[in-house]
A and B are shown apart, each in its own frame.
Chain A
Amino acid sequence: MDAKTENQRGWLYVLPVVVLVACNAVIPLMAVVNYSVQETFGNNVFFFEGVKWFQQVLHSERFHAALLRQLAFTGIILVIEVPLGVAIALAMPRRGPWVSVCLVLMALPLLIPWNVVGAMWNIFALPDIGMLGRLLNGLGLNYNYTQQPFSAWATLIAMDVWHWTSLVVLLAYAGLSSIPDAYYQAAKIDGASSWAVFRYIQLPKMKRVLTIAVLLRFMDSFNIYTEPFVLTGGGPGNSTTLLSIDLVKIALGQFDLGPAAAMSIIYFLIILALSWIFYTVMTRGEGQS
Chain B
Amino acid sequence: MARITLQELRHSYLAHPQSEQDWALKRLDIEWTDGGAYALLGPSGCGKTTLLNIISGLVRPTEGRVLFDDVDLTNVPTDRRHIAQVFQFPVVYDTMSVYDNLAFPLRNRRVPEAEVRATVLEIAHMLDLQDMLRMRAARLTADGKQKISLGRGLVRADVNAIMFDEPLTVIDPHLKWQLRSKLKELHQRIARTMIYVTHDQTEALTFADKVVVMHDGMVVQIGTPIELFERPRHTFVGHFIGSPGMNVLPCTVEDDKAMLGGQPVAVQNPAKAALDGRRLELGVRPEFVAFAAAGLPVAVVKVSDAGRYRIVETRHGTDRINLLVDPDVAVPGEGAHLRFDPAYTRLYADGWLVE
Contacts and interface: CB of A to CB of B under 8 A. Distances in A.
Interface of A: 180, 182-183, 185-186, 188-193, 196, 200-201, 204-205, 289
A196 B91 contact: no
Contact of A182 (B78, B83, B87, B153): B87
Nearest to A183: B91
A185 B79 CA distance: 10
A204 B95 contact: yes
Nearest to A287: B139
17 contacts: A182-B88, A182-B89, A182-B91, A185-B56, A185-B58, A185-B78, A186-B87, A189-B79, A189-B84, A189-B105, A189-B153, A191-B108, A192-B108, A196-B108, A200-B95, A200-B96, A289-B139
B85 interface: yes
Contacts of A180: 89, 91
Contacts of B94: 204-205
Interface string B127-166: 0000000111001000000000100110000000000000
Contacts of B136: 289
A200 B91 CA distance: 12
A185 B91 CA distance: 10
A269 B93 CA distance: 38
B95 A191 contact: no
B104 interface: yes
B348 to A, nearest CB: 38
A131 B139 CA distance: 55
Contacts of A201: 93
B109 interface: yes
Interface size bracket, B side: 20 to 34
Given A185-B56, A188-B58, A191-B109, 20 more contacts: A180-B89, A182-B91, A183-B91, A186-B85, A186-B87, A186-B149, A188-B77, A189-B78, A189-B83, A189-B153, A190-B104, A191-B105, A191-B108, A192-B104, A200-B93, A200-B95, A201-B93, A204-B94, A205-B94, A289-B134
Given A182-B89, A185-B87, A190 B139 contact: no
A201 B53 CA distance: 21
Contacts, number: 56
A101 B63 CA distance: 33
B208 to A, nearest CB: 22
Interface of B: 53, 56, 58, 77-79, 83-85, 87-89, 91, 93-96, 104-105, 108-109, 134-136, 139, 149, 152-153
Contacts of B88: 182
A193 B110 CA distance: 12
Contacts of A205: 94
Contacts of B56: 185, 189
Nearest to B92: A186
Contacts of A183: 91
B85 A189 contact: yes
B152 A190 contact: yes
A132 B236 CA distance: 71
A201 B94 CA distance: 8
A281 B78 CA distance: 38
A185 B53 CA distance: 9
Which 4 residue pairs are nearest across A and B when measured between Cβ atoms?
A: A186-B91, A191-B108, A182-B87, A190-B105
Q: Give the most central of A180, A183, A190, A193: most B CB within 10 Å.
A: A190
Contacts of A200: 93, 95-96, 104
Contacts of A190: 104-105, 108, 152
B237 to A, nearest CB: 29
Contacts of A193: 108
A183 B149 CA distance: 11
Of residues A180, A191, A196, A204, which shows the largest number of chain B Cβ atoms within 10 Å of its Cβ?
A191
A192 B95 CA distance: 15
B93 A188 contact: no
Contact of A188 (B78, B104, B135, B139): B78
Contacts of A182: 87-89, 91
A261 B241 CA distance: 78
Given A190-B152, A191-B108, A185 B85 contact: yes
Nearest to B95: A204
Which of A186, A189, A193 has most chain B Cβ within 10 Å? A189
A180 B94 CA distance: 14
Contacts of A186: 85, 87, 91, 149, 152
A173 to B, nearest CB: 20
A157 B91 CA distance: 41
A189 B89 CA distance: 15
